[in-house]
Amino acid sequence: MARQRSTRSTATGEAPLELSRLSRRAFSALAGTTVLGLALGGSVSSQALPGSGARGPVPTGPPPGPPGADGVRHRVALDRYSLLVDGRRLALWSGEMHPFRLPSPSLWRDVLQKMRAYGYNAVSVRLAWNQHSPAPGAYDFTGVRDLDLFLRTAAETRMYVVLRPGPYIGADVDAGGLPGWLTAAEGRARTLDAAYLRHADEWLSRVNAVAARHQYTRGEGTVLLYRVDAPRRARLTRLHDRLRADGVDVPLLHTDTPAPWGEVERTRDAAEARRVHLDHLGRGITLHNVHTAFGGTSWGWLPAPSAPTPTYDPTAAIDEGRRPTDKLAPLHQLGQLLRHIPDFTRLEEASDVRAGDPRIQVRHLANPDTGTHAYVLRNDSATGVTSKVPMGGTDVEVTVPAHDAKLLATGLHLGAGRKLAYATVQPMLSFSVGRLDIAAFVGRAGEMAHLVLDCPHEPWPTRLDEEAAWAYDHGKLHVTVPLEENRLTRVRVRSGKSDRTLLLLFADDAASLRLWPYETPSGRVLVHGPALLRDVALDGATIRLTGDTVEECPLEVWAPRGITDVTWNGDAVSTTASRAHSLLATWLLPGVPELVLPALDGWRRRTENPESRPGYDDSGWTVADRRTSYSTTPVPDGQPVLFADDYGFHYGDVWYRGRLSGATGLEELSLAYSTGARGMLMAWLDGEPLGTHRMDREADGTGTWTATARFRLPGGLRRALRREPREGPGTGDSPVLSVLVRRTQHDHDAYKAARGLTSVAFEGASPKVRWRIQGAAAPDPVRGPLNHGGLFGERHGWHLPGYDDGRWESVSLPRADRRQGVTWYRTAFRLDVPPDVDASVGLVLGDDRDRDYRAQVFLNGWNMGEYAVDPTGAPHTFVLPNGILRTRAAANTLALAVLAGGDTASGPGTVRLKLLGGAAGGVPVTPVTSPGPRR
């Protein structure tokens, strides 16, 4: 059977996911029976619909309604076809988003509402342990880490939740989500090591205490599935017991789950997204996950070496600025199809079908309950292919574009007494609104849609738009529509044998993104026109719509009987009744007004790194004198442990100061160090720069970069070291070696590899060294442990709003400084975005590609990530999330910490605000707490 394995597609759609270990014979034996045991846990239901008394698979029927925290206990089960919710089949169309990549809780609602509108019925959520735990036994689920708030918001937006708390989550997060302190702790992650399991169990128990309160099985929320990190069977058994003890009773998903789970990784464009998702559908998969639905930002020190830039997934269908992209069209169409056409929740492999042209591959499936047949046509060739394909007893001529796919159907019931014979376009939705049956079909702009209905009795079709044409012949109604760019075409079909009217809608990809079905307690609603439909409420004779517009647009509403009035975002809309049985707005809805962003000027500048000076007081720093480590990096013989993690400094930059005894004759020194991507090292001896070393841009294949920086002492320093030891206040009696290391991220797999200095060697002398180390101060109680590192300015609040920079030097940008060390730049700006407008704003940094420096970007004290000059010279745009960004006539503080080697000119270069997009509508945004320096 096609659904006996789960697939995972990469960007090329070819790489297989680890397959279920259940044998084909054993899996087939489960056909028609609910899967029990570890795959599900305790919340299971019988196979047949309630009260049927029948054995065997649950037949196809209406799907469960939208979920919510309704206070009613629900049964959740799974057979080889689909999920079963209260005895009804549910095709899961899940999209992944990471709340920790959007540090503005108000905007969680915005993204969830957009996901629901674009067809998703579930959100897959990974939780990063390192965001919540700054130290062993310390956990924080407040503010931007408020899991309880996120789960409540998901329930309020009527989205199921697939929870994935790890402990390891991957996701291009530092150490795969494992906390920094675990890198220096006893035990090996993702094993049965007792030391590790103690920490992992504690983390899961903290998560489970929240998740258990939001389980759909209990009617207290919408957590439907729990996906566990269990690479080994023994670990799985233990996890099962742990979760059940914590009160988690929803089904568990894991690598051994005998369920058709399909997850698609990043895809290049809409055609590839359609191809790989339809391929999953053709394999009978009904548990779909889009990775990722919303990309978000790897802010602060969150990103892993595998993806060191702040932008997590530039291919996401909803981009980092929360804006829709062209890739949304196939996801929107498939999500609505799976939600509104139940035939696709139970499909079995049917007889082989071959296209006339072998370049078109065909998968044929059928629903044994309804008689609907599905055909997935895939064209992997570089040119479009037109060929005859046998469908429903007819050879149908179909064109499949290059590197694309189509889903076609026959035998699909479209309301009372009408059945689809075949069509050359994909069904998107089919449901009833009052006495009107509506069916929508979608295809590519420029193609000719041909749809044929079985009509034993001659119908009365009406062409409502000029593009459509029809003909009736031998019991079949043929409708042809040329699909035009962003245009909806309507055809009305009546029959003397039924009092119900069928409305056929035809749309290209762009027009399909303006079709918004919505389910209310009083029935379904369909809205056409606006850029987004967020919510619908029926209030007597009035339908109240909320949503977004970008440009002026029409508004058309199909609503239950008795609805005569329409409001849009609280304002009454004048409408007329149309021939399509809709309420059509008399005037266009207004678009978003023009927005003007301020220039960034008024910059102030100050240099730092006093740590490089010999007289700097480091007496409060940590003494680096350990001799053993849990790191996988060997400790050099005869030297102390210098690894930053061993001294509690897990994120950001770290300083070392070593006092040298017996350095007379020293001529050269070598500093071995280990970092993630974009690592760098700067060294000074007695305040004099020795130079800067940068890691190669290319990875070494392990996510850890190692190198040795060799510095020959300048002649003046060599001569000074040959003299007698110095005396006097502030000089000390021995030379001081100061080293700044940008240690950056931990790898996913080799997460215990050292970061920072690893060893030091000298030539010309063999001095003894007394080391001290300093990294980040205590974790920010609001912004979390990954927000800042060990720079002097960070330790003294230079990145925070409210810091007094009045005595700093006034400068303008761009700059061309040459100095080894750290230089800070600060400015303030105000935005005045109207309260009913959602503006997505970015900060663009760019510079000459011959320059090589790092700039850490802070907005109102929140670390937005690192800018490094791109080798191509391309600028980078940092998305500034509303909430952290004050958009309503309030001041914002922008700070840049620039690390430069002095061997090239350093910026900042161009720094400007950019409007990424705007919409009239949005959600109310609460400012995110952004405290200034402690007084």
Q: What is the pLDDT of residue 230?
A: 77
pLDDT at 259: 63
Give 326-366 as a DSSP string: TTHHHHHHHHHHHHH-GGGGS-EE------SSTTEEEEEEE
DSSP 496: T
- For 464-487, the pLDDT digits (tens) are 999 999 999 989 999 999 999 999
Calpha distance 282→275 (Å, rounded): 10
pLDDT of residue 237: 84
Q: According to the model, what pLDDT value does residue 697 have? A: 65
Residue type, 323: R
Determine the length of the chain: 935
- pLDDT at res. 79: 86
Which among 809, 734, 719, 808 is positioned nearest to 764, based on CA atoms?
719
Q: Specify the pLDDT at position 34.
A: 38
The whole-model pTM stands at: 0.93
CB 173 within 8 A of CB 302: yes
Instruction: Say what the pLDDT of residue 260 is.
Output: 67
Give buried/exposed letters for 214-229 (b at 16+ CB in 10 A, else e). Answer: bbbbbebbbbbbbbbb
Q: What are phi and psi of 345, to 5 degrees?
A: -90, -10
Q: Which one-letter DSSP state was computed for residue 505?
A: E
- Starting from the edge strand earliest in sequence, which strands make up the sheet with 404-410, in order? 348-349, 360-366, 373-379, 404-410
Residue 258's pLDDT is 59
Rounded distance between C-alpha atoms, residue 916 and residue 734, angstroms: 55
What's the CA gap between 707 and 757, in Å, rounded?
Answer: 10
Instruction: Give CA–CA dist 901/906, Å, rounded.
Output: 8
Instruction: Report the distance separating Cα 572 and Cα 291, nearest Å.
Output: 39
Q: Are 410 and 392 in contact (CB under 8 A)?
A: yes
pLDDT for residue 672: 98
> Nearest-CA neighbor of 503 among 426, 406, 434, 574?
434
Residue 731 identity:
T
User: Are 305 and 23 in contact, with CB atoms under 8 Å apart?
Assistant: no
pLDDT tens for each residue of 578-593: 999 999 999 999 999 9
Mean pLDDT, 10 residues at a time, the chain of 935 residues:
35 33 30 35 37 65 95 93 94 97 98 98 98 97 98 98 96 96 95 94 97 98 93 79 94 74 89 95 93 94 93 94 95 97 94 97 97 97 98 96 98 90 98 95 97 91 94 94 97 86 97 98 96 98 98 98 97 97 98 96 98 97 98 97 98 98 96 95 97 79 88 94 58 84 93 97 97 95 96 98 97 96 98 96 96 96 96 94 95 98 93 98 97 88
Is 559 within 8 Å of 583 (Cβ atoms)?
yes
